Amino acid sequence: MQRTLLGALASPFHEIVVVDGGSRDRTREVVASVQARWPCVKVVTSEPGRARQMNAGAALCSGDALLFLHADTLLPGGARAAIETALADPRCVGGRFDVAFEPDTGWGRLIARMMNWRSRWSGIATGDQALFVRRPVFERLRGFADLPLMEDVEFCRRLKREGALASLPIQVVTSFRRWEQDGPLRTILMMWSLRTLYWLGIHPRILAGRYGHVR
């Protein structure tokens, strides 16, 4: 967790909950160091796992809408206004942003375009795209399912049934590190394999056990 990320969020957003799932990067110390300046920032400890951590954070929030942001992702300027504009339409229950990668390599641009096109066409987004949702809808859906992976895809499948989803064209910027670790092409093939098996009905727990906890 970085102070710069918290500072960028503290200005437009009145409530920020950092959920620490047992990290070793001094997350709690970083949050404590900024709370005097930005008292809207809170930290809570949760069992590890993105679904559990996001549900734990949502439980502490009081706002009418929830935004789920990964620690390695930066929001664009005007993100809050864009969310508010989207949710001004009563038919809209939530949405996501377009994504770009840092560093902005050729592979990164290609993968980002594929992700943005796929989610715009399918209505299914990933956590890298900064999902947002009306709080009453999130509570009615009982949050994210407790899955070791695909919790974002599974949530979007249910969210689509509740109403319209906004595909915001402004971009969040997320780290390309995960793709670089095993190579972009190998990672693409792995992601496609996982999603194909998931759509064919293979449970995420089986996929996680077979392929490891892919993130």
Task: Kindly state whether residue 180 falls inside one of the protein's structural domains.
Answer: yes
Task: With a cut of 70, say whether residue 10 has pLDDT above it.
Answer: no
The residue written with tokens 């734990």 in the block is 56
Band (87; pLDDT cuts 50, 70, 90): very high
Task: Kindly state whether residue 6 falls inside one of the protein's structural domains.
Answer: no
Residue 92 — φ and ψ, nearest 5°?
-85, 125
Number of domains in the chain: 1
Task: Kindly state whether residue 124 falls inside one of the protein's structural domains.
Answer: yes
Band (93; pLDDT cuts 50, 70, 90): very high
Torsion, Cα 176 45 147 168, to 10 degrees, reads -50
Residue range 72-98: average pLDDT?
Answer: 95
pTM given for the model: 0.88
Task: Kindly state whether residue 183 falls inside one of the protein's structural domains.
Answer: yes
| Torsion sign, CA atoms 204, 207, 208, 214 | negative
Task: Kindly state whether residue 19 falls inside one of the protein's structural domains.
Answer: no
Task: Kindly state whether residue 85 falls inside one of the protein's structural domains.
Answer: yes
Mean pLDDT rounded to a whole number for the chain: 87
Task: Kindly state whether residue 37 falls inside one of the protein's structural domains.
Answer: no
Range of the structural domain that residue 50 is part of: 46-211
Residue 25 pLDDT = 75
CA-wise closest residue to 166 among 208, 101, 119? 119
CATH code for position 136: 3.90.550.10
